[in-house]
Structure 1
Amino acid sequence: MFPISFAPKLIRSCTILLNISKTYCCPPTPKPPVVTVLNACSKIGKYVALLLKQNPLIGELRLYDKNGTVCAVAEDLSHIDTRTKVRSFGGSAVLKHAVAEVDIVVSVGGCKESSRESYKKLFEKNVDDVRSEALHMIEFNPKAVFCIAKPPIEALVPMVSEEFRKAGVYDSRKIIGITSVGSMRANYHIANVTGQRAADVICPIVGGLSTNCLVAVLSQTKPKTTSPQIIPTVQKLIGESEDDVLKLYADCHTVCLSPALAVARFVNTMLKALRGDTNCVDCAFVAQTGHIGQFLPYMTSIVRLGRYGIMSSHMPKISGDEAHRLKKAAVIIKDLIKMGESFVTGEILDDSIQQNGSAQKLQEAAQAQATAASAFGKVQSQQTSG
């Protein structure tokens, strides 16, 4: 037995040993993530930056834009008294510094300005900027998660993927098309029609995000209260949400409020996944594999996020009506995928893609898609057996 007088010395010794173990044995505290918002001077870019400035998970928020006034946006945001540090990068020459040594890069802007604006015009408006961003990431930070929220994501995600493949640094987990606004709109319209609270509704989406590409999986909505009679009406409302708002704006503004919140929510989910949280699930436009990949090489599906980006993706079970809608949407999505890939590979596009024919013509072409329908049949049978 030790004498009582020895107790204080023993306690001091234990305290010293504990401090030494904390200093030399415990792993260092991980550095808070760094997030870059590209095209931060755009309307949606400013809103996204404002929302992310309030995110306690972000250590540093970088704002990049070719326009030098991005420094004013950054200074304005810096006055918000949150822990997130804000830095600005103005001009093409500093894009490499904006994307270097960051965890997440988010490309926003280039939103649809008119309900009559075609996929092809949107692609031509945004492709050069997104390609430049991709090339800089390939050279200076290929391991960052690249989140694309510029339309049409159905063409830009494949284009970026081809650039990464060409450079030999492709990782399908890291290139993500943000489609969260589609789920958000679906939740709202379902709640509005059924009399529920939008916050209580969860509806997954598949296909794409653009008009005539998005299919809401109403059969898997939680809580399950959607009656068959209202399905066509709700699908139409969800698919035409952006165009309806543009018409209310008299085609003089972009729809950027709800998309900005959707982007910020997705980034927040991605940040939680990076720190190790396990229940990080959303819908996103990503590369597909297996039977799903035979049907569509890229598609919006349910994704689980992890430390390295996409951990897994899967198709929800869909009804016959939803399968029919997805087959129609697949014709348009395939053309958009081809549009994006051919921009890198140099292939000549079919005239119907170049001219961006009407959705009706593209849907009629679905009858000739025997291979796609066959592959999709395999997906359905696989889901039924599962």
Structure 2
Amino acid sequence: MPGLKVAVLGAAGGIGQPLSLLVKMNPAVTDLALFDVVPVVRGVAADCSHVDSPATTAGYTKDDEGLKQALTGADLVIIPAGVPRKPGMTRDDLFNINAGIVRDLAQGIADFCPKAFVLIISNPVNSTVPIAAEVLKAAGVFDPKRLFGVTTLDVVRSSTMSAQAIGKPNSAPEYTIPVVGGHSGVTILPLLSQAKPALPESLFSDTEKLKALIHRIQFGGDEVVEAKAGAGSATLSMAYAGYKFAEQLIGAAFQGKKGVVAPSYVYVAEAKDIQQEIGQDLAFFSVPVELGPNGVEKLHPLGQLSSYEKELLQACLGELPGSITKGVNFIQQPKL
């Protein structure tokens, strides 16, 4: 395969640093560009450059057209940029700061690498992905198959926390659990009834235990924020999850791997079967996505939901449309 350039935007942050290291370790990556607004990103790049993997590594700031240099020729762009949550903060509290950051970085992508695959980690994902889409649309370069909101942390938490809930904490890697909806609180809908291998029936018959598990998956980020006592939010697990999805996409899009399916928050406005399942016309929704050379090759249906999961879907639909609209309006609103 030809050389693969990956750009990480926000590479000096709590997610960006471990994520950059993981990307550097991927043998398929030949060029790693690290961008941030803080000068320490050059040190992060120097640090990563000592790792004995193929990728050459360079760090860029806003000086000397750094964003242009980082993005030009990029095949894949990963965006963990933004401020982290602090105790008591909701993802929406972050909105105005991170929305502006994502808007500006998306404009850079539109200008310098419009064909790149774009993975957005910056919260609130439910709104930041629509923001990026609106910027790319305005530039005439929006390809819905190449824009992804990374929801893999919800998938990772579902496997880990389900394994713990059934008393088999070491078995987390064995479980594959699709997660649909969005990427914040009640918009996160883990389809535990579709777990492979199947979770024990005793979990589903114990309503309180089931509700507690789903709540823990939906609000797992709060667990980390509280445990870090004001010193940060989920960074290591998010970097791991972000890289896991990037690795799946690299395998499917650039290395010819077949049958790679991973949930992601993507553009579903033209997927009538998905809209029918959801019961609402939504522009974005997390569904299992079959990945390939074009990015999104196929959107997989939600499938059979349990009666409780149908209730959770309604709760998700009570919040998600507003988050999408908030992102769209951030770009479309007239400037004062």
CA contact (8 A) 1:111 1:255 kept: no
Q: CA deviation at 1:96?
A: 1.4
Backbone CA RMSD of aligned residues: 1.6
1:207 counterpart = 2:181 = yes
Residue 307 of structure 1 corresponds to: 293
List alignment gaps of at least 5 residues for structure 1.
1-29, 349-386
Between the aligned partners of 1:267 and 1:284, the Cα distance in structure 2 is 11
Q: CA deviation at 1:252?
A: 2.5
Larger Rg belongs to:
1
Residue 8 of structure 1 corresponds to: none
Q: Which amino acid aligns with 1:343?
A: F
Residue 278 of structure 1 corresponds to: 258
Q: CA deviation at 1:301?
A: 0.7
CA contact (8 A) 2:146 2:296 kept: yes
Residue 257 of structure 1 corresponds to: 236
List alignment gaps of at least 5 residues for structure 2.
none
1:79 counterpart = 2:50 = yes
Between the aligned partners of 1:319 and 1:58, the Cα distance in structure 2 is 41
- Correspondences of 1:1-386 after superposition (within 5 Å): 30-91=1-62, 93-110=65-82, 112-196=84-168, 197-226=171-200, 227-228=203-204, 229=206, 230-275=209-254, 276-288=256-268, 289-293=271-275, 294-317=280-303, 318-346=305-333
With normalisation by structure 1, the TM-score equals 0.79
- 1:183–1:190 Cα change, 3 Å: same
Q: CA deviation at 1:340?
A: 0.3
Q: CA deviation at 1:249?
A: 1.4
Between the aligned partners of 1:155 and 1:68, the Cα distance in structure 2 is 28
- 1:111–1:240 Cα change, 3 Å: farther
Between the aligned partners of 1:97 and 1:75, the Cα distance in structure 2 is 17
Q: CA deviation at 1:193?
A: 0.9
Quote the sequence identity (%): 28
CA contact (8 A) 1:220 1:316 kept: no
Q: CA deviation at 1:206?
A: 0.7
Q: CA deviation at 1:32?
A: 2.2
More displaced 10-residue stretch of structure 1: 263-272 or 222-231:
222-231
Report SS of the residue matched to 2:186.
coil
Q: CA deviation at 1:111?
A: 5.3
Between the aligned partners of 2:187 and 2:132, the Cα distance in structure 1 is 20
Report SS of the residue matched to 2:105.
helix
Q: CA deviation at 1:115?
A: 4.1
Between the aligned partners of 2:301 and 2:84, the Cα distance in structure 1 is 28
Between the aligned partners of 1:210 and 1:109, the Cα distance in structure 2 is 17
More displaced 10-residue stretch of structure 1: 309-318 or 176-185:
309-318
With normalisation by structure 2, the TM-score equals 0.91
Q: CA deviation at 1:110?
A: 2.6
Q: Which amino acid aligns with 2:274?
A: I
